[in-house]
A = this chain, B = another copy of it.
Amino acid sequence: MKRICFLLRVKPDRLAEYKERHKAVWPEMQEALRETGWHNYSLFLRDDGLLVGYVETPDFQAALDGMARKEVNERWQKQMAEFFDLGGEHADRAMSPLEEVFHLD
């Protein structure tokens, strides 16, 4: 299992709504994430909109590719795109892993 961390930016004026949506992630979206290898997945939000993702997965690219093939992900990302400054690009296509420089089990 690899540990992955990525960063995104939520529009500062949409933080409250972003949080509300994530209290009710569709069950079929959660199921798709589990099926494609997203484990112990958390999102953390700083009050200026910096979003930190942390996930454990055997292969992050495979996890991204797996979700890219899920119809529910297409629907989810389409309605989430307006929360990010990505020119309409879906957030899951902008998840670049940071370098892990330390780990303690």
Contacts and interface: CB of A to CB of B under 8 A. Distances in A.
A103 B41 contact: yes
Size bin of chain A's contact surface? 20 to 34
Interface stretch (A32-40, A60-68, A70-78, A85-93): A32-40
Counting every copy of the chain, the complex holds: 2
A84 interface: no
Interface in A44-73: 44-47, 50, 52, 54
Interface of A: 3, 5, 7, 18-19, 22-23, 25, 30, 33-34, 38-47, 50, 52, 54, 98-105
Given A5-B44, A46-B98, A52-B98, 18 more contacts: A3-B54, A7-B52, A22-B102, A25-B102, A25-B104, A30-B104, A41-B102, A42-B100, A42-B102, A42-B103, A43-B100, A43-B101, A44-B98, A44-B101, A45-B99, A46-B99, A52-B52, A54-B54
